Structure 1
Amino acid sequence: MNDGDMTIGTHGMLLLGGEVFYMSHLPMFESPHNFQVILEVSLDDTAGPVVRSHRHVVPEEPYDTFVPDDFPMSELDPRGAGPRRTSITGRISCGHFERKGGQHPPLAERTVANVQSVVYFAQLDVQAEHRDDRELAYLCFGRGGQLYLAHDISAAPDFDQVLTVRAVPGTATNPLGERLPDDEATLEKFFAEHFAVAEPVGIGGRSNRPDQRVVPPETVDASFFATAPPSGFHGFGVQLEAEREVYIETGDLRKPKAHQS
């Protein structure tokens, strides 16, 4: 590890999944935490079953977090020049590691999370100006039949949100609004297998504010403008049904006082 790397820090992560595990970095608009990163990981044989089977002890924190030993976030950058990090060691908390969840004994200590793939990696610009007129946007990812939406974080003040969603059968259309020729079985397989890497999703008619976010159990019109469906169109639309809001955070994504005008 390069001790002079300015991205070294305690990079707490939201832990998602069961059949397939993901970690989503809990970002801030200050160094070294100004990164939105989503990883697909595998857990060791001790931690995996515990995470899949435990009951949450903090009702307002119905999720788990992973607290790794300090490491440089740059080592996860798929475009980085140096060697790629393949594993992260840390503890798993039931709930937020810095809040009520952190007051309870950890679910697992010294757990090794092996990085299977980098689903998404972006460095956040701490100087960027927030625009309310920016369209609400998400990142869609998932495998094994479970789809997630993570809010696409852009500029402070912003919000971090992760949802589980499902594509509504029979609602996929091409950019002209015409129903896609793919049959429902083909599209169902596509949504179950395609999103190993995060794809951008626009939610039309909504601005980039927490009060405009997608909230279960609503169904929204989603635009996958950079994703080709099986029939080969450039982009498509589909209705997504929000099933569960796994995580929502606004306080950590305000602009730091040092950068406020």
Structure 2
Amino acid sequence: MTAPRALRGLLLLGRDPVYAVHLPMFGPPYDFQAILRVTPSTPTYDSARSRFGTSAVFTVRPETEVLLKDLEPGAEFPGELYFGRFDRDGDSLGPLSVRVSHLVHARPLDAPDTDPPDSGLTGADPTDPAYVVFGDEDRLFLTRRLTVPPDFDQTLTALVVDGEVREGWTVTLPGRRGDLMSRPRPGEQITTADGTQLQILAEVYLETDDLAR
């Protein structure tokens, strides 16, 4: 029997609102992508984010088992906040509980065909790299939609130059290779399949080792 999918750790982004992105792996029980709008329990994160800026890496390690199926609005769980990666050389900033306000996106990695009809992927070329968009036009984030191992996790900040975006929508980048060296980079302007133009500001997060196999 397969173990239920559970949170491994979260990357925190933004200030108002605050978003949490699951740090996945391809093996169970961490084999899913999820983006949540959340409310931290203390001002520690907001103060640290204000001090270190938009591109600093902050992560949360849950202190109890948190299952994907339980990530509903109002759910709350205790954790520990880190400046940097919680499982590497990050510095602990103390306890912090996370309350879920809204589930923006969730997708098991072994079920690529489960996207709803309004996901933005209708008619998209499955070989084109894809990114889930969240935030708003003034503070936009893009997280790479994972495919099969080996792959890489990437989260970017961007501005809308022309067109519209919708929170939770998946945008594809036609004609672009999906390998690490061809990934979108800061300073680049990209055009999505629907013609929306985005200016990449910063690469907040990049991870290869977790998704190598």
Q: Name the TM-score class by shorter chain.
A: 0.7 to 0.9
CA distance in 2, matches of 1:64, 1:40: 15
**Offset from partner CA, 1:90-128 (integer Å, 9 cap, x none):** 011000011111xx3x2131x1211000010011119xx
Give the C-alpha shift of residue 35 in structure 1.
Answer: 0.7
1:20 aligns with 2:6: no
Kindly indicate which of the two structures has a greater share of residues assigned to helix: 1
Partner of 1:129: none
1:34 matched to which residue of 2? 31
Cα distance between partner residues in 1 of 2:60 and 2:137: 22
- How much has 1:74 moved relative to structure 2? 2.4
Equivalence map 1:60-71=2 (5 Å): 62-69=56-63, 70-71=65-66
Q: What is the alpha-carbon distance in structure 2 between the residues aligned to residue 200 and residue 123 of structure 1?
A: 15
Matched-pair identity in %: 31
Report the residue type matching 1:120 in the other structure.
Answer: H
What 5-or-longer segments of structure 2 have no aligned partner? 112-125
Give the distance between the partners of 1:40 and 1:53, measured in 2 at CA. 18
Alignment TM-score, normalising by the size of structure 2: 0.83
Paired residue secondary structure (2:187): coil
Q: 1:166 aligns with which of 147, 159, 165?
A: 159
**Of 40, 44, 48, the match for 1:43:** 40
Which residue number in structure 1 is paired with residue 185 of structure 2? 215
8 A contact 1:6–1:72 mirrored in 2: no
Change (3 A) 1:137 1:74: same
The change in CA–CA distance for 1:97 and 1:20 in structure 2 (over 3 A counts) is same
Structure 1: stretches of 5+ with no match in the other structure: 79-83, 127-132, 173-186, 224-235, 256-261
Q: What is the rounded CA distance, in whole Å, between the counterparts of 1:5 and 1:73 in structure 2?
A: 14
Q: In the aligned structure 2, how far is the partner of 1:108 from the partner of 1:50?
A: 13
For the pair shown, the structure with the greater C-alpha radius of gyration is: 1
**46 and 253 in structure 1: CA distance in 2 versus 1, 3 angstrom threshold:** same
- Report the counterpart of residue 204 of structure 1 in structure 2: 174
What is the aligned residue count?
Answer: 199
Counterparts of 1:144 and 1:138 in 2: how far apart (Å)? 15
1:1-261 to 2 correspondences below 5 Å: 6-7=3-4, 9=6, 11-55=8-52, 62-69=56-63, 70-76=65-71, 86-101=75-90, 104=91, 106-109=92-95, 111-125=96-110, 134-143=127-136, 145-168=138-161, 171-172=162-163, 191=165, 194-195=166-167, 198-223=168-193, 236-255=194-213
> CA RMSD for the aligned pairs?
2.6
Cα drift, residue 47 of structure 1: 2.8
Does the 8 Å CA contact 2:74/2:99 hold for their aligned counterparts?
no
Change in Cα spacing, 1:62 to 1:203, as seen in structure 2 (3 Å) is same
